[in-house]
């Protein structure tokens, strides 16, 4: 492993949301990791159709997965935070049907896709973790699908803010009802499947109802109970999770 951050001293892994791995697994991960990638905000990490030989774990920073129609309409599928695995579809299905773009300056651990088979053969725990991560992404997408299909723009906005707040908070990136948002309102609109104009109207409504305050790059949840009720949001039980 050639990157600057040694897996054995990974600062992210110290966080207690992540399950501990034994030394043997950690050793494999260290060998699996072939480098580190640092990207600027807005940089493309993975491009649809463009079959990348890499698999990544976000070590630091935010990114987002997105997909577009021929005419340019774009949908943000999900945001990706530290600890999230990126490029699994390409690695497993050998076909990437979406792109990934960095939202902030981000650091990524780079894994060689062709070693993934060794992982499955020699490390059942890590194979399980990989499936776990895929199943969890699926679960998040299920939630977003419910949101896009059934919630109104107002409910959707409330839901999405809570969703992101909770994910960030689990990593210590948000707390005290304050989320330092690295994304623009336009990004949020794209994730919710509404126009930026309508997102603006909708966010204003949440302000007027004194549910949130969004100034500069910080979203403050003023009344979580009412926000949750509006969104009919159910927070995920706190749960430790694997990280590769």
Partner DNA sequence: CGGCTTGGTTAACTAATGTTAAGGCGGTTG
Partner DNA sequence: CAACCGCCTTAACATTAGTTAACCAAGCCG
In whole angstroms, the minimum distance from the beta carbon of 11 to its own copies comes to 26
Q: Looking at 4, 44, 51, 232, which residue binds its own copies (CB under 8 A)?
A: 232
Sheet holding 63-68, edge to edge: 44-46, 99-102, 63-68, 74-80
How many residues would you count in the chain? 244
Among 184, 218, 232, 235, binds DNA (CB under 7 A): 184
Binding site partner of 204, from DNA, its own copies, none, Cβ cut-off 5-8 A by kind: DNA
- Nearest Cα neighbor of 206 from 189, 231, 183, 181 is 231
User: Which residues 203-222 are close enough to bind DNA by CB under 7 A?
Assistant: 203-204, 214
Rounded CA separation 150/133 (Å): 26
Taking each continuous run of H as one helix and of E as one strand, the counts in the chain are 8, 12
76 binds DNA (CB under 7 A): no
We find the least distance from the C-beta atom of residue 79 to DNA, in angstroms, to be: 15
Angle CA(174)–CA(188)–CA(181) in degrees, nearest 5? 25
CA atoms within 13 A on the CB side of 37: 21
Tell me the per-residue interface mask from 178 to 217 with its own copies, x by CB under 8 A, - otherwise.
------------x-xx------------------------
Pseudo-torsion of CA 86, 90, 93, 96, nearest 10°?
Answer: 110
Q: Which of DNA, its own copies, none interacts with 89 (beta carbon under 5 to 8 A by kind)?
A: its own copies
Using CB under 7 A, pick the residue from 153, 162, 168, 212 that binds DNA. 153
User: Which of these segments, 64-72, 195-203, 221-229, 233-241, binds DNA (CB under 7 A)?
Assistant: 195-203
Query: Which of 40, 230, 65 is closest to 151 using CA atoms?
Result: 230
State the CB neighbour count (10 A cutoff) for residue 71: 5
Interface residues with DNA (CB under 7 A) are: 152-154, 184-186, 193-198, 200-204, 214
Interface residues with its own copies (CB under 8 A) are: 65, 67-71, 73-75, 77, 88-89, 92-93, 95, 97-98, 117, 120-121, 124-125, 127-128, 130-132, 134-139, 141-146, 148-151, 190, 192-193, 232, 237, 239
């Amino acid at each position: 492993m050639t990157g600057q951050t040694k897996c054995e001293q990974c600062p992210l892994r110290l966080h207690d949301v992540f399950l501990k791995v034994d030394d043997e697994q950690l050793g494999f991960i260290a060998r699996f990791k072939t480098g580190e990638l640092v990207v600027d905000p807005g940089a493309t990490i993975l491009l649809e159709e463009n079959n990348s030989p890499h698999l990544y774990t976000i070590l630091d920073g935010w990114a987002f997965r997105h997909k577009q129609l021929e005419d340019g309409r774009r949908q943000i599928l999900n945001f990706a935070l530290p600890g999230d695995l990126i490029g699994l579809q390409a690695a497993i299905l050998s076909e990437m049907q979406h792109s990934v773009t960095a939202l902030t300056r981000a650091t990524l651990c780079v894994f060689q896709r062709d070693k993934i088979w060794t992982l499955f053969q020699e490390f059942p725990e890590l194979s399980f973790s990989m499936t776990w991560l895929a199943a969890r992404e699926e679960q998040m997408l299920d939630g977003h699908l419910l949101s896009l299909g059934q919630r109104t723009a107002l409910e959707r906005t409330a839901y999405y803010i809570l969703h992101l707040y909770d994910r960030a908070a689990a990593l210590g990136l948000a707390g005290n009802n304050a989320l330092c948002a690295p994304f623009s309102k336009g990004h949020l609109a794209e994730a919710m499947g509404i126009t930026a104009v309508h997102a603006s109207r909708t966010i204003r409504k949440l302000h007027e109802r004194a549910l949130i305050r969004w100034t500069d790059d910080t979203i403050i949840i003023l009344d979580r109970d009412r926000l949750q009720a509006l969104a009919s949001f159910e927070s995920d039980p706190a749960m430790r999770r694997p990280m590769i």
